[in-house]
Amino acid sequence: MNLPVILSGPILRRVDQSSVFVWIATSKPFQISAKLYQIHQSDKDGYHLISDQSEMECIRFGKRLFIYMIKIVADKGIFPLETLLGYNLFFTSDSTTVDLSDFGLLEPGSNSLVYGNLPYPSFFISEGKHTNILYGSCRKLHGKGEDAMVAGDRHVEETCRSLEKRPQALFLLGDQIYADNVADPLFPILTSLGRQLIGKEEPLYKVDKRLEQYPSLYKIHGRKFIMDHLCRFTSNQSHNHAIQFSEYAALYVLSWGPQVWECIQENGGLSVFEEELTNDRIHFAFSRESAVHKVYEWELRQHKQRFSEQAEELRESIASLHHIRRLLANVPTYMIFDDHDVTDDWNITQEWKENVQGTSLGRHVVANGVGAYWAFQGWGNDPDSFGQTFLKVMKRYAGRFDVESEGYKDWLYHLLNYSSWHFTAPTEPKTVFLDTRTKRGYEYSSVPEKIGRIIQETLQSPELIRQSAWPAIATSLKESGWKRGEMLIVASPTPLYGLGLIESTLHRYTNPLRLAGIPVHELFDFEAWKYNGKGFTTFLRQILNWAPRQCFIVSGDVHYASSVHTTVQSNDERKAHIIQCTSSPLNNASFSGIWGRLVQTVTWVNAWKRKKKRIVRYCDEQDRMIHQEPGIHVPENCQWKETIQYIPTDRETIMETTNNIGLLSFTETFAQNELFMSEAQEKKRVRFKRIDF
């Protein structure tokens, strides 16, 4: 397959008053420069150049993957605010220079990066009078339902010249890829494309010699045993888990745009089940020759049905990728990881972490996942924060992918021990992004549980951010220029306030399994801020210490959307007003089938009871969160108390479970959260009730 020149991008990344960063990946080396233009509101006036000063940083990953970070700097110190801006990239090789138009990306049509009759991909820098933030999480390439990012693209298309309504930023809050849940029809493409990008396969047998015993390594559905026992991972869907850096990279390339898919289609498109079966490229637990032949036939039917369903889901996603590419090119985008970007349950417990770190292959896969996250996501969040030492380590190993080299040891160490994945985005108001995966706190203190006649002490759920990690986060926020009394946005992949009726039910019905020794943390993604009262309280104290005028928390992860409004008061009379907005999933609808409908029904019945009810709870001295019963006073020695209200939608519900992307809009006087969904690639809208300050 001939690779396209532009593999992925361009993606607009960090933008502030003095610099604009653009990310792009190509299959050939270039010198890339950029120009920034002011686009006039009148088509007659056109546009004019405001900066042709740019810098380029490039890292070559193997043979055919070149990732660039282009920085455009202001000629006169700062760029204009509340002004429509556009950019173009220029690619120079062998004394020949081409720009985005030469790739057909600026012309009208389905492949265009531009909206309407604008000349270039565009954006603006807000001065903060009106804030519009798109946000969401959980986007699986073969997810069920239509991709909600299409609706996000439609919204930007509708508002591209109206800066009061146009989103100033896009927040992707985790699970931008599902490295542990790769579709069967995608797996052969993933491994083949990975080899083309890097130029070779990583010598995995040098990482773990036992891999020589597993011919299923490169077969469809053939990695579950390897991931379970050689990596000690706990994903239930790891049959095609990405292992090599090249496979993670290929998954990003295939998820963010149509370029490579167009080449794949020219070469026959998705693989055919019968062909893969004939060529012995599908792994079976039971062979045709085994004594239990009927089991093999059953397994064969399962493979074929799953392959067919996933192929259809992939085709639907592929058809919408030009919308995703255009959206990412036109809105400053900030990204933080959650577990599926690396592997399901990543660092979910201390035991999980120790088990995986105790295996050479587990460490290798986690480092590859984190390394790919940095190259495709993390680098653009705050490019200047990654110093030359970090970049040198990345370049040194990525040039050869030699797992026996000193460069590999440095690669592992830096990626597995990097402590600053959190960052503050230069939005107005500022947004501090939390790392809830690598900064966890694990305690071995026991928690007493009683189920029926069984009394047992169980392990405490982890703090999603340990107390010692908060000072560095606070420093990041302070260095951004944010001040007490200003509005603040906090991006937490997992909601601080989920729907308590879901979280409490999960806690209630999984406790018997915990007492029986079943690993429910892994089975049910048993992690939320509220499951560790100490960690929850530390988060609230941090907000109280920052003392924002209004605090907005945006989150994803939970596969439903909701809005919660709460007022928190500490025992020293400090108050915080918090609005939690959650949007999930972008493309991975989970509430389907009999179980999904049952959960929806139970939730909606309980939601109806709570829709107009204010819930009061407090935290006692033992970090236990307790709901205040009617007629009972809150103890004076409590650490904090709060009043919670679930905000209903215009449908009179407090949650939505279809694929959705959120839009948080607010001014000095009100906040409005709404959701966009895609139906036949057209935008549909659901609004939550407006909150006046």
- Using pLDDT thresholds of 50, 70 and 90, give the confidence band for residue 514: very low
Q: Alpha-carbon distance 258 to 198, whole Å?
A: 20
Quick check: 140 pLDDT over 80? Answer: yes
Quick check: 201 pLDDT over 50? Answer: yes
- Using pLDDT thresholds of 50, 70 and 90, give the confidence band for residue 591: confident
Q: Note the pLDDT of residue 520.
A: 41
- Based on C-alpha coordinates, what's the Rg of the chain? 25
Residue 543 CB neighbour total at 10 angstroms: 19
Write down the mean pLDDT value for the chain.
Answer: 91
pLDDT, tens digit, for every residue of 4-49?
999 999 999 999 999 999 999 999 999 999 999 999 977 666 899 9
Concatenated DSSP letters of 168-201:
SEEEE-S-SS-TT---GGGHHHHHHHHHHHHSS-
Strands (E), 502-614: 551-555, 562-570, 575-582
Taking the alpha carbons of 403, 199, 259, 381 in that order, is the dihedral positive or negative?
Answer: positive
pLDDT, tens digit, for every residue of 59-102?
999 999 999 999 999 988 899 999 999 999 999 999 999 999 99
- Strands 85-93 and 31-39, how do they pair? antiparallel
Rama region for 104: left / alpha / beta (φ>0; ψ in -120 to 50; rest) = left
Q: Note the pLDDT of residue 516.
A: 47
Q: Note the pLDDT of residue 289.
A: 73
C-alpha closest to that of 242 among 139, 412, 338, 366: 366
C-alpha closest to that of 445 among 269, 565, 624: 624
pTM of the model: 0.94
User: What mean pLDDT is predicted for residues 611-622?
Assistant: 84
pLDDT, tens digit, for every residue of 534-584?
999 999 999 999 999 999 999 999 999 999 999 999 989 899 999 999 999
User: What mean pLDDT is predicted for residues 602-608?
Assistant: 61
- Using pLDDT thresholds of 50, 70 and 90, give the confidence band for residue 521: very low
Is the omega angle on the peptide bond into residue 471 within 30 degrees of 0, that is, cis? no
pLDDT, tens digit, for every residue of 427-466?
999 999 999 999 999 987 655 655 555 555 556 789 999 9
Torsion angles phi and psi, residue 619, rounded to 5:
-120, 125
Q: Alpha-carbon distance 590 to 584, whole Å?
A: 10
pLDDT, tens digit, for every residue of 265-301?
998 899 999 999 999 999 999 887 766 668 888 999 9
Quick check: 181 pLDDT over 70? Answer: yes
Helix axes 406-417, 388-398, angle to 10 degrees: 130
Residue spans of alpha helices (H) in 399-479: 406-417, 470-479
User: What mean pLDDT is predicted for residues 252-272?
Assistant: 95
Q: Note the pLDDT of residue 143.
A: 95
Half-sphere exposure of 372 (CA within 13 A, CB side): 28
Q: Tokens 């110190």 belong to which residue? A: 77
Helix axes 245-255, 360-376, angle to 10 degrees: 30
Concatenated DSSP letters of 235-271:
-TTGGG---SHHHHHHHHHHHS-SHHHHHHHHTT-SP
Q: Note the pLDDT of residue 552.
A: 98
Q: Note the pLDDT of residue 511.
A: 47
Torsion angles phi and psi, residue 655, rounded to 5:
-150, 150
Quick check: 125 pLDDT over 50? Answer: yes
Give residues with Cβ within 8 angstroms of 606, minimum separation 6: 501
C-alpha closest to that of 30 among 109, 123, 96: 96
Q: Alpha-carbon distance 302 to 300, whole Å?
A: 5
pLDDT, tens digit, for every residue of 365-422?
999 999 999 999 999 999 999 999 999 999 999 999 999 999 999 999 999 999 999 9
Q: Note the pLDDT of residue 455.
A: 57
- Using pLDDT thresholds of 50, 70 and 90, give the confidence band for residue 614: confident
Give residues with Cβ within 8 angstroms of 207, minimum separation 6: 360, 361, 364, 403
Give residues with Cβ within 8 angstroms of 324, minimum separation 6: 147, 149, 150, 153, 255, 256, 257
Q: Alpha-carbon distance 621 to 623, whole Å?
A: 6
Q: Note the pLDDT of residue 428.
A: 96
In the chain, the percentage of residues whose pLDDT exceeds 70 is 90
